[in-house]
Amino acid sequence: MSEKGGGTLVVPFGVWFTGPIVFRSNINLHLEKGALLLFSPDFDAYPLVETSFEGLDTKRCQSPISGRNLENIAITGKGSINGSGHAWRPLKRVKVTENYWKGVVKSGGVLSADRQTWYPSEKSKKGEEYAERNLNVPRRILTDAEWRSAKDFMRPVMVSFINCKNVLLEDVLFENSPSWNLHPLMCENVIIDNIIVRNPAFAQNGDGVDLESCKNSIIINSVFDVGDDAICIKSGKDEDGRRRGIPTENLIVDNCKVFNGHGGFVVGSEMSGGVRNISVRNCEFLGTDVGLRFKSTRGRGGLVENIYIENISMFDIATESLLFDLFYGGKSTVEALHGGAPVRDAVIPQVSETTPSFRNIYIKNVISRNARRAMYFNGLPEMNISNINIEDAIITSKVGAELSESDGITFKNVTIIPEEGPALILNNVKNLKVADFYSPDLATIVKVTGRQNNNIQLPETIKKEKIDRQTMN
């Protein structure tokens, strides 16, 4: 079909059981109403292939749907695609009910030594021996025999399009992926419109869409209810990402809803190739761990800039409505919260190509109800997050906003109503300008700590006795 100019491959009503599908150029895979494309849970149907996962060059099992170096490809229609991800994914006992856990254990598979993690096979369990985190890269170069011995652990993303141009995903339900659901990598002109993406809340690495090193894309009118980050922007990790050097740029996200996930809209943590020129508007985040989540760590490098976010509503956010975390350690924010505060280096490293940078971010018209913490800016001492502008925001939360290692932050017409503690905690903050700030009549509205604070401008409406200046230069 492709050789003759392409066309539409129609999947009619019914349940269609299949192995992996490899796309060709000029093909539209169209699922009619009532059509379910169900992928086989037989691991042997998915050979190991060279690919990229979590921003690093590695091997993974072949994706249920894949394509490389193609043009004009589409998945459309009112049907559904199910990746049989439950057969692939390890399961942590703590994340499910006891009855569910007993049912999974009874189905087969093997348990970890502490009996708190279920693996679908011995090969899946074997992968833990080689994994740094999600086996995104082995700790050492593996032999072919070692790769084969841990093959089942290399769970594939469900839809993998690499270096493709003119990609359309429209109207389809994507669900139950072995790992990430949708992964456009180094693609150009990607349109994602009116899709639904679902995974159980306990689905390990069950991201919605991970747009990586892509140019000129839109994600609109779509719904996400997933087990990890929902709408996630990436561009490669560490040396592999910097060597690739392809940013994600020129992206519009509009009219999307996220019902569950580690983050609603997310940048990072794999952003070593850079992220720029992003517009996010008219979105709702309902019950996510974080609302707007920006994350990276030392060693990444990369520049994130020119992000414009407007008209965002959030409800029941488990941790922060807005998070910048440059000490990201590979855990979800809820897991990190339960694990305690991170330990920081006593010696501050020099700025280099491995230092990540986040700057020039504009956030306007945000309403968040019932978050744990209003905001958390956790920058690097050697490279502060800078020029972050928050305007017209109303946030109710258990605790207020905490800004650390930040430079050039502007609040304009911002309301923060915490249940306890100050509305603003400032630690080593420079060139902060707060105008038209409202918070209830707290015992302390602003608390200033750290020894590197400079040029903090607070409005006159905040009385001096409401400001706790513990250590302010």
The model's pLDDT over 321-372, given as tens digits with 9 standing for 90+, comes to 999 999 998 554 555 555 555 545 568 899 999 999 999 999 999 999 999 9
158 and 108 inside one domain: no
**What DSSP assignment string belongs to 307-324?**
EEEEEEEEES-SSEEEEE
CB atoms within 10 A of CB 22: 11
Are 463 and 440 in contact by the 8 Å Cβ rule? The answer is no
Range of the domain at 122: 90-149
**Which pLDDT value is given to residue 177?**
98
List Cα–Cα distances, 351 to 55, 75, 346, 355, in angstroms.
Answer: 22, 44, 16, 6
Residue 407 pLDDT class (50, 70, 90 cuts): very high
C-alpha closest to that of 450 among 350, 354, 377: 377
- Give residues with Cβ within 8 angstroms of 33, minimum separation 6: 13, 77, 78, 79
407 and 325 inside one domain: yes
Q: What is the mean pLDDT of residues 166-183?
A: 98
CATH code at position 426: 2.160.20.10
Share of the chain above pLDDT 70, in %: 93
176 and 197 inside one domain: yes
61 and 134 inside one domain: no
CA-based torsion, 285, 287, 291, 296: positive or negative: negative
Query: Which of 28-59 are b and which e, b meaning 16 or more Cβ less than 10 Å from the residue's Cβ?
Result: bbbbeeebbbbbbeebeebebbebbbbbbbbb
Q: What is the mean pLDDT of residues 403-430?
A: 97
**Domain final residue, candidates 101, 124, 149:** 149
96 and 45 inside one domain: no
**Which pLDDT value is given to residue 397?**
98
Reading phi first (left if > 0) and then psi (alpha if -120 to 50, else beta), residue 334 is in: alpha
**Domain final residue, candidates 116, 149, 182:** 149
283 and 136 inside one domain: no
Q: Which of 156-165, 351-360, 442-451 has the lowest mean pLDDT?
A: 442-451
389 and 323 inside one domain: yes
Question: pTM of this prediction?
Answer: 0.94
Q: Please provide the distance, in angstroms rounded to a whole number, between the alpha carbons at the two ends of the chain.
A: 71
Share of the chain above pLDDT 90, in %: 86
**Which pLDDT value is given to residue 347?**
81
pLDDT, averaged across the chain: 93
Residue 142 pLDDT class (50, 70, 90 cuts): confident
142 and 177 inside one domain: no
**Which pLDDT value is given to residue 310?**
98
**Which pLDDT value is given to residue 131?**
75
* 38-90 pLDDT tens trace: 999 999 999 999 999 999 888 999 999 999 999 999 999 999 999 999 999 99
392-396: long-range contacts, CB 8 A cutoff, minimum separation 24: 392/364, 392/365, 392/366, 393/363, 393/364, 393/365, 393/366, 393/367, 393/368, 394/366, 394/367, 394/368, 395/321, 395/366, 395/367, 395/368, 395/371, 396/368, 396/369, 396/370, 396/371
Q: What is the mean pLDDT of residues 160-172?
A: 98
**Which pLDDT value is given to residue 308?**
98
- Give residues with Cβ within 8 angstroms of 114, minimum separation 6: none
CA distance 362 to 306: 8
113 and 172 inside one domain: no
115 and 160 inside one domain: no
Known catalytic residues are 228, 262
**Which pLDDT value is given to residue 473?**
46
Residue 141 pLDDT class (50, 70, 90 cuts): confident
* 192-216 pLDDT tens trace: 999 999 999 999 999 999 999 999 9
CA-based torsion, 78, 260, 193, 89: positive or negative: negative
**Which pLDDT value is given to residue 27?**
98
Hey, what amino acid is at 352?
Answer: S
**Which pLDDT value is given to residue 344?**
54
69 and 210 inside one domain: yes
Residue 452 pLDDT class (50, 70, 90 cuts): confident
CA distance 401 to 371: 11
**What DSSP assignment string belongs to 6-26?**
-EEEEE-SEEEEE--EE--TT
Backbone φ, ψ for residue 86 (5° rounding) = -60, -25
**Which pLDDT value is given to residue 84?**
98
**Domain final residue, candidates 126, 149, 172:** 149
183 and 252 inside one domain: yes
Domain count, the chain: 2
